[in-house]
Amino acid sequence: MDDDPSYDIRVAVVDHAAVLIDPAPVRQAVEKTLQRHSCPAARISVAVVGDTRIAELNQRFLSHEGPTDVLTFNLTEGTNGLDAEIVISAETAHRQAQQRGHAMMDELLLYAVHGTLHLLGMDDHSEEDAETMHRLEDEILSELGRGPVYGGDNR
C-alpha cells in the first residue's frame, strides 16, 4: 500500500558485554515507536556497543564523561523523513536490568524506544516531559509484549 510507512532500520551489535543480543526485537521497538508517532519514513541505524565505546562517543559529541545508556544523532536534512543513528550500551542495560530486577533485553528495548522518542522531538528535561516519555515508553513496550519496563522507578 502507498500509505504504509517506509522504514529502513538496521541493527548492528558492534561491541557488547559478552551477551547475545537478537537484533529483531530492537528493530521492532524502533519501528513500533515510529508507527505510534505517525512517522512516514525513516532510515535509522542502531548500534549496540559496550560502555567503552559509548563513553568515547559521549565525551566526543556531548562533552560528558563516562558511559551512558543511549545516544541519538539526528542526521535528517530536508524533508525526506527521519535519518538518524541510535547508539545503545549493552553493558549499561545489563547493569541497570540487574539493579531493577528485570531482563536485560527489556532494558535495552527501553533504550531503543527512548532514543527513538528523542529523535521524534520529545525530551525529558522537565519532570512533566520525563513522565510523558516514560509513560509512552511503557505503553510501547507493553504493546510489544514486554510490559512496562520503566515502571515509574527513580532513574
The pLDDT, as a whole number, for residue 147 is 84
Q: Which of the residues in the chain have pLDDT under 70?
A: 1-4, 15-19, 78-79, 151-155
CATH tag, 6-143: 3.40.390.30
The pLDDT, as a whole number, for residue 110 is 97
The pLDDT, as a whole number, for residue 153 is 47
Whole-prediction pTM value? 0.90
Domain residue spans of the chain: 6-143
Which residue's entry shows cell 527501553? 110
The pLDDT, as a whole number, for residue 52 is 93
| Exposure b/e, 17-43, CB count within 10 A at least 16 = b | beeebeeebbbbbbbbbbebeebeebb
